[in-house]
């Protein structure tokens, strides 16, 4: 059985961990935890994929990548999507129709871009090219030639031993390169009724889950990532009773930030409108220590690598007032950082595929 290798870099800690085997039962994984060890895990969006966990002693590093050592990206010989731009917009139109008839309040649709390269992807090189800014978790979780890799801006939950913190994001704009334009865009985002509604749906769900732990404090703001601006709310609570970080993450997941609301109706609609199972995209990745502290981030701004194949994914929240063309454009700028890391300079029309010779 192939080893599990994890590279992790977040504002809280940086480490690499190698474990001899993958574990599919979280309680079995927890039973192996000892002082100084970490449980790393990858949870799928839904139950179609298995939970993957690994336990071992982390090795602290100053950086999970060395940009000086990275090689040029492999040549991308195929770029395409099983769902073209027109089909994705049609799915958005259908989602809006369901929202307007009252059957659902919000749904988050996923878009996937498939790539084939001239040689197998080098995980460390892709991670080195994956630019990020702000509070971001850069990670790779590998077993054999299969890797989930990303730079997630969304903290599902962290536990430092004193406080639980969750920072949901929802409501987005492309991040303009010029500071003056950026300021105007932030102001427009903060005033947008549509984006504030999309955001509040998520905040309400997270607050409702955290409320039994103790009094919840909130702080609102805007987060800037490499290519995007997001409305964010930081929710903090001091638990009145002991709780483990991963248990809180599993109660929260999936939030309306990556699924929708009501949750069951959103899942039903996603099974109808999306062209494939999401696997680990929009799942959860992170670590937990023996004392229950840890941090768990959403698997977004991410890709799945397997030999010479890769799939980059992005999601977009649909609510009343959503514009299909604008939502499609939002997936474009969310995909760009990962596609650049994979060697694609920009996103062509995916209805015109670049075929492998």
Q: Which residues are catalytic?
A: 106, 154
Give the H or E element holding residue 318: strand 309-318
Per the listing, tokens 């903060």 go with: 190
Inter-residue contact 51 to 280 (CB < 8 Å): no
Cα(first)–Cα(last) distance of the chain, in Å? 34
Inter-residue contact 312 to 115 (CB < 8 Å): yes
H helical segments located in 152-260: 179-191, 193-210, 245-252
CA atoms within 13 A on the CB side of 356: 13
Cβ within 8 Å of residue 138, ≥6 positions away? 7, 8, 9, 10, 64, 127, 130, 132, 150, 151
């Amino acid at each position: 059985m192939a080893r599990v290798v994890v590279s992790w870099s977040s504002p809280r800690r940086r480490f690499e961990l190698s474990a001899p085997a993958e574990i599919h039962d979280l309680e079995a994984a927890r039973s192996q935890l000892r002082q100084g060890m970490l449980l790393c895990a990858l949870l799928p969006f839904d139950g179609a994929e298995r939970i993957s966990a690994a336990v071992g002693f982390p090795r602290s590093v100053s950086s999970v990548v060395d940009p000086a050592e990275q090689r040029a990206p492999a040549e991308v010989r195929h770029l395409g999507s099983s769902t073209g731009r027109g089909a994705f917009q049609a799915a958005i139109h259908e989602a809006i129709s369901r929202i307007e008839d009252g059957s659902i309040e919000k749904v988050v649709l996923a878009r996937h871009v498939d790539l084939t390269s001239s040689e197998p992807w080098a995980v460390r090189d892709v991670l080195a090219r994956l630019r990020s800014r702000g509070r971001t978790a850069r990670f790779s979780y590998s077993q054999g030639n299969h890797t989930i890799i990303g730079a997630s801006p969304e903290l599902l939950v962290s536990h430092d031993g004193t406080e639980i913190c969750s920072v949901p994001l929802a409501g987005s704009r492309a991040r303009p390169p010029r500071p003056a334009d950026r300021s105007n865009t932030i102001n427009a985002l903060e005033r947008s009724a549509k984006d504030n509604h999309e955001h509040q749906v998520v905040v309400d769900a997270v607050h409702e889950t955290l409320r039994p732990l103790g009094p919840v404090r909130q702080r609102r703001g805007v987060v800037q990532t490499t290519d995007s601006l997001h409305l964010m709310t930081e929710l903090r609570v001091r638990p009145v009773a002991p709780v483990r970080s991963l248990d809180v993450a599993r109660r929260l997941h999936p939030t309306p930030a990556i699924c929708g609301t009501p949750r069951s109706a959103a899942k039903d609609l996603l099974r109808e409108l999306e062209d494939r199972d999401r696997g680990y995209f929009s799942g959860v990745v992170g670590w937990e220590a023996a004392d229950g502290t840890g941090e768990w981030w959403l698997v977004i701004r991410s890709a799945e690598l397997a030999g010479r194949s890769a799939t980059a994914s992005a999601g977009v929240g649909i609510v009343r007032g959503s514009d299909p063309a604008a939502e499609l454009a939002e997936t474009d700028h969310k995909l760009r950082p990962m596609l650049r890391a994979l060697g694609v300079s920009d996103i062509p029309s995916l209805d015109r595929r670049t075929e492998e010779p």
